[in-house]
A = this chain, B = another copy of it.
């Protein structure tokens, strides 16, 4: 198992989230763990503040699996606890940030998504994602 196939006429993928999170420690570098319907399932560890950005054509879903995520919008800040998810529609500016310490997130977003969105010149931009 753990075969991260295309998800389209491919093979079944089974993933244990904790085992996958144990495979890496760096922040802000999403790892691909599955594919479905033209989307990637990614795991990421977040620490500190990310850059402001939006995605022109992609809705993004963040499910917090450990810790607490703070995510700023232009008009407010939302706190997303472990066991909660938030969907950020395309076009909405956002900035994931820290609430003291690290938090872990399962991300669902189209395969075309760049982590820093319209802010693709950011030092935080990652274009070649690992598959674990």
- Please report the total number of A residues contacting B with Cβ < 8 Å: 46
Within 8 A of B (CB), among A24-78: 34-39, 41, 58-61, 63, 65, 73, 78
Taking a contact as CB atoms under 8 Å apart, the answer to whether A1 and B78 are in contact is: yes
Chain B nearest CB: distance from A91 CB in Å?
A: 6
A36 and B84 form a contact (CB under 8 A):
no
A122 at the interface (CB under 8 A from B): no
Which residues of A (1-38) have their CB < 8 Å from a CB of B? Answer: 1, 5-18, 34-38
Indicate whether A8 sits within 8 Å of B59 (C-beta atoms), given known contacts A39-B37, A39-B39.
yes
Q: How many copies does the complex hold?
A: 2
Q: Could you tell me which A residues sit within 8 Å of B by CB distance?
A: 1, 5-18, 34-39, 41, 58-61, 63, 65, 73, 78, 80-81, 83-92, 106, 108-110
Q: Using A7-B87, A7-B89, A36-B89 as known contacts, list a sample of 19 further A-B pairs with CB atoms less than 8 Å apart, ordered by residue number in A.
A: A5-B89, A9-B90, A10-B89, A12-B78, A12-B86, A12-B88, A13-B86, A13-B87, A14-B78, A14-B85, A16-B81, A18-B83, A34-B61, A34-B85, A35-B59, A37-B38, A37-B109, A39-B39, A41-B61
